[in-house]
Amino acid sequence: MSEPSIPASPAGGPVRRQAARRTRIGRGRLRAALALAATALLAGTAAGCTDDGPDDRDAAAAGSGVTGPLCAALPSGTDPGNPDALADQPGDVALQWIPVLTRFEAAVRAADLAAELRAPGGVTILAPTDDAFGKKFSEENLDDLMIHRRDELRDLVRAHLVAGAHPLADLVADGTVRTLDGSTVPVSAAGPMARIGEHVQSVCADYRIAGGRIHIVNGVLGKLPTTFDPDAGSGH
């Protein structure tokens, strides 16, 4: 697989336009996949977090070593961005090929932290989905972070980075994870997945990358407040 070119800085326009251009799967398919992921996680918790049902087997089959309810909706087999093709790519490049991570990948570029995703000792990336960003930040707030509030943006990105290459099972076994922003976050089992902090869960874990791992998660970590208002524009 050839290395894609690094897109231009988001300072030239709103991040929502870049994300829309770079999304490689349809919105309907993504919404359905995220709904399936949420349903599977809730079902796993209610069932005592022990059963491996058909959804788990299908998710594991979606790529080499990746597991989770969202995996089946992501590139697999010989598709560009399939897990095997990303195994020798540095983290900043691998993020560009996973279609649900356009906002997080744009944040990495805007924060100028690509080098931290290529650290000699390796890095584990807890990468929030575009949907997670959409439920955390208003578009105006996210644009402001990307363009003007770079120090806060760097802290936000580092809240999702862990030094070293850690499979999801190791994070669960350790019970906590220390992110590069200096936070210590609890990690616990949630069926075959993991709960990170109080509300965030993994939805497609164990992408191997050069020197590290990517675990896709359904929420945003870090200390920034939620600015998304679900009632904005609804007349409520």
Q: Where are the domains of the chain?
A: 14-217
Residue bearing the bigger pLDDT, 46 or 162: 162
| Cα–Cα distance for residue pair 152/117, rounded to 1 Å | 18
**pLDDT computed for residue 53 by the predictor:** 43
Place 230 in a pLDDT band, splitting at 50, 70 and 90: confident
**pLDDT computed for residue 16 by the predictor:** 47
Nearest of 123, 195, 108 to residue 157 by alpha carbon: 108
Q: CB neighbours of 154 closer than 8 A, spacing ≥ 6?
A: 111, 112, 113
**pLDDT computed for residue 89 by the predictor:** 97
Tens of pLDDT, residues 122-163: 999 999 999 999 999 999 999 999 999 999 999 999 999 999
**pLDDT computed for residue 229 by the predictor:** 84
**pLDDT computed for residue 38 by the predictor:** 47
Burial of 120 (0-12, 13-18, 19+ CB in 10 A): exposed
Percent of the chain residues past pLDDT 90, beyond the cut: 68
Q: How far apart are the first and last CA of the chain?
A: 49
Mean pLDDT of 194-212: 96
Residue bearing the bigger pLDDT, 51 or 135: 135
Tens of pLDDT, residues 63-83: 468 999 999 999 999 999 999
| Cα–Cα distance for residue pair 229/37, rounded to 1 Å | 23
User: Which residue(s) pair with 98 in the sheet?
Assistant: none
| CATH architecture of the region 14-217 | Roll (2.30)
Percent of the chain residues past pLDDT 70, beyond the cut: 71
20: pLDDT strictly greater than 60: no
Indicate if the alpha-carbon torsion angle 151, 181, 156, 12 is positive or negative. positive
55: pLDDT strictly greater than 90: no
